[in-house]
Structure 1
């Protein structure tokens, strides 16, 4: 792969617009771009929490708006004139089993996707990358998951993400809109959610606390956030056909037990756990990993960070913010 620094230098004097910039993925992309002197704009809601961007808050051109509002999105494009758009605004992963919540998310994400696509169609930026997810594969597909598999979304979140994906592909093929889609597996790293396994485990070990842990041997493909950011930005610069979809994962899979054991080894301390059962999760599979052959072929990309190194960096970050609290 070409040096990362050279890749990010291609964005200098360009304007990158990030939807969902206050979230884990959006904020990580923003900070990496700012490190290389790139002009960054981002959309937020009035209620958005900017804790992940506290250190760089004054360097970002924030726009408070409703992405469901067509006129507000169009005005945004006129003001910002983005060269690249990264659509990282994510639907809620919670309570989607309620029919009203599912209907709301389907309507909301569709409106947002169409509004963005229409503005991209009108203003012709260089490229938009849509942050999709691996939930669109469904549990009935076989791992490793490859981009040419039939999509069998069988969860509420999978259905929401699949509908977004279908809209992106429709505009790419019907109107030649320059959008590519990143099928993102389980991202982790600094500023990940405290509700997720890795941060929750680090916090528990630090505080001598106990957390419930399932003994079920379900697997996940964990990709370190720095690798994910590099993959997304490489997609921005690509000349791939519009509508191209690429997996972004580590190409390896781990159970929750294996992740916790690695964290324990790195921290030199055992975690207190209690065996528990959890409600079925749409990602629960005995095998769950990304096939990276296609992205390696068309973008010459592969993740650089092992799970050991990624967890070590995450632990170091958590220790630092705890010391500075």
Structure 2
């Protein structure tokens, strides 16, 4: 990445901030697109090594001005909102088009019109594009998303495939499994588990038998950078995952063990009679075969790494209060 001019959308987000940090450490010239009003907490530590652009992606004019001034070599598109897009309502569906699809179309259109288009574009997709089909998910399967978020993300993948032959640059969607790691919002399960264990609070796992393919953010960053290398013909979307899906009860007990907490604080709910157990699991075969990418961090190791980070953060918090 040395000397590459990289544009990262969603740069202040969980995955985007980790990607910016890695790119900067590898000598890239990093341009971070940050939505006005969003907190810069995750990237404040590298603010002196990156250029921050406060741009709302729904504002095409502002996007044009920004992209023309940057003229990136590589683009990483991670600005995809998820909140409020879980329930299949008409309002959520309209919102998913406005906030996910239209900005994507504008981004691609503006990049294609630059005097010097980028060499490659990598877009963060999601395991939610697959929806209610048999596992493990493979790239050739017919998807059946069950949320407006998954449907909009899938539509983006399909449209990009449709436009591929007309674009002056390759673009690939990385279908990410459920990503975890340092600085993730505590609205998500793993950070909330660590919070509970650190304070000795009881926490209920309402669906303990559900299985999830969980991937560490460092592996995701490795994959995004790998995909940004030499384009691979025919790979319009690629699963970025571990290929392993532990139950939520197994994950919760691993967190309690890593935090030296009483496992009794983890209360396991019961699957209701007739309730279907949810199983989200992707096959990483294509990423290995086409790109030579494989995940390096297993779930137990990743939870151990996160426990060390969380413990360090708590100690720093206590010192600051003292």
Tell me if both proteins adopt one fold, taking TM over 0.5 as the criterion: yes
Number of residue pairs matched by the alignment: 310
CA contact (8 A) 1:27 1:52 kept: yes
Which residue in the other structure is 1:40 paired with? 30
Change (3 A) 1:275 1:260: closer
The question of 1:99 aligning with 2:81 is answered: no
Which residue in the other structure is 1:155 paired with? 147
Q: Deviations over 1:82-123 (max 9, x none)?
A: 000000001223354243233122122222011111122123
CA contact (8 A) 2:125 2:157 kept: yes
Which residue in the other structure is 2:103 paired with? 112
How far the C-alpha of 1:40 sits from its partner, in A, is 0.7
How far the C-alpha of 1:267 sits from its partner, in A, is 2.0
CA contact (8 A) 1:180 1:242 kept: no
The question of 1:128 aligning with 2:121 is answered: yes
CA contact (8 A) 1:96 1:102 kept: no
CA distance in 2, matches of 1:17, 1:146: 29
CA distance in 1, matches of 2:230, 2:209: 38
What is the Cα-based RMSD across aligned positions, in Å? 2.0
CA distance in 2, matches of 1:78, 1:155: 35
How far the C-alpha of 1:215 sits from its partner, in A, is 4.2
Aligned residue among 27, 35, 43 for 2:17: 27
CA distance in 2, matches of 1:21, 1:161: 19
Which residue in the other structure is 1:308 paired with? 300
CA contact (8 A) 2:8 2:77 kept: yes
Q: Which runs of 4+ in 1 moved over 4 A?
A: 275-279
How far the C-alpha of 1:150 sits from its partner, in A, is 0.8
Change (3 A) 1:216 1:266: closer
CA distance in 2, matches of 1:45, 1:229: 21
CA contact (8 A) 2:120 2:231 kept: no
CA distance in 2, matches of 1:101, 1:277: 30
CA contact (8 A) 1:18 1:41 kept: yes
What is the DSSP-based 3-state SS (H/G/I as helix, E as strand, rest coil) of the residue aligned with 1:135? helix
Q: Deviations over 1:173-211 (max 9, x none)?
A: 343542111000101111112111111111111101112
What is the DSSP-based 3-state SS (H/G/I as helix, E as strand, rest coil) of the residue aligned with 2:279? coil
- Structure 1 gaps of 5+ residues are 1-10
Residues 1-325 of structure 1 mapped to structure 2, 5 A cutoff = 11-94=1-84, 96-97=86-87, 98-123=89-114, 124-139=117-132, 141-175=133-167, 177-241=169-233, 244-271=236-263, 272-276=265-269, 285-325=277-317
CA distance in 2, matches of 1:146, 1:158: 16
CA contact (8 A) 2:96 2:148 kept: no
- Structure 2 gaps of 5+ residues are 318-322
